[in-house]
Amino acid sequence: MFVKVCGLATTADIDVAVEAGADAVGLVISGTSVRGLEREHAARLAAHAPAGVLSVLVVNDTPAVRAAELARELGVGALQLHGGHYGAEDFAAAALVFPRLWRATSLKERPDTRVGAHGEEVLLLDSPRAGSGARWDLSLLDSARPEGTWLLAGGLAPENVAAAIAQARPWGVDVSSGVESAPGVKDPDRIRAFVAAAKAAA
């Protein structure tokens, strides 16, 4: 089970996630998120992520090509374009600058749930209110479950991730607010518990 811990803000956060066994760490650059980082801060965190752990730049309000340029400048491993407002044309333009793209959306957007439909290598299905910690109705996946390399996100926490994996059967999971003690503040014990529960559920 692939596990991404997102919205990390410090090198200590990264260290805990890596030691817990996370496969990827997410760094957010956004003007609307409590987890948003300044470019220089994100660059330091990206450089801190060790080899073998994928660093993912997450954006939701940056034009796709500029986001791809940022991903290249920061030296991250992948770029996550988050939101249904990024269309196939955005992905095509971004891929010319930075080829490793993830597509994140919610079923509320009525997206194409075929992994790779926009040229992305990973699809992430989130709550309609990304970053809110709100759970969503996983039974909606009964008629729209992707196949292949896709991550489940939205409202996941150490207490419910095993049940969510059993129901949704994703390739991987993504967590942010579910491992926090306060908005934007990661809790080391909850990170460890989440990764352990997700890996055990697989």
DSSP string across 77-117: SEEEEESTTS-HHHHHHHHTT---EEEEEEGGG----STTT
Percent of the chain with pLDDT over 70: 96
Is the Cα dihedral 171, 159, 175, 5 positive or negative?
negative
pLDDT given at position 16: 98
Question: Which pLDDT score, from 0 to 100, does residue 130 have?
Answer: 66
List b or e across 64-96, with b for residues whose CB sees 16 or more CB atoms inside 10 angstroms.
beebbbbbeebebbbbbbbeeebeeebbeebbe
Rounded Cα distance between 195 and 201, Å, is 10
CA distance 182 to 157: 14
| pTM of structure | 0.94
CA angle 12, 5, 173 (to 5 degrees): 160
pLDDT at 129 > cutoff 80: no
CA torsion 95→101→105→110, rounded to 10°?
50
pLDDT one-digit tens code per residue, 104-120: 998 888 888 899 999 99
**Residue 73 pLDDT > 80, yes or no?**
yes
4 versus 147: the higher-pLDDT residue is 4
Average pLDDT over residues 185-189: 98
Give me the mean pLDDT over the 63-82 stretch: 97
Q: Of the listed 23, 90, 126, 174, which one is catalytic?
A: 126
> Across the chain, what does the average pLDDT equal?
93
Q: Which one of the listed residues 6, 13, 90, 174 is annotated catalytic?
A: 6
Closest residue by Cα to residue 36 from 45, 49, 48, 23: 45
pLDDT value at 134 more than 80: no
d(CA 77, CA 4): 13
Using pLDDT thresholds of 50, 70 and 90, give the confidence band for residue 133: low
How far from each other are the two terminal CA atoms of the chain, in whole angstroms?
6
Residue 158 has pLDDT above 70, yes or no: yes
Split at pLDDT 50, 70, 90, the class of 202 is confident
CA–CA separation, 92 and 170 (whole Å): 25
- What does the pLDDT look like over 18-55, one tens digit per residue? 999 999 999 999 988 899 999 999 999 999 999 999 99
Is it the case that residue 132 has pLDDT exceeding 70? no
Report the C-alpha gap between 111 and 152 in whole angstroms.
15
Catalytic (active site) residue 6: yes
Q: Is 126 among the residues known to form the active site?
A: yes
As a whole number of angstroms, the distance between CA 146 and CA 170 comes to 8
Please give the Cα distance from 142 to 186 (Å, whole number). Answer: 32
76 Cβ contact list (under 8 Å, min separation 6): 27, 46, 55, 56, 57
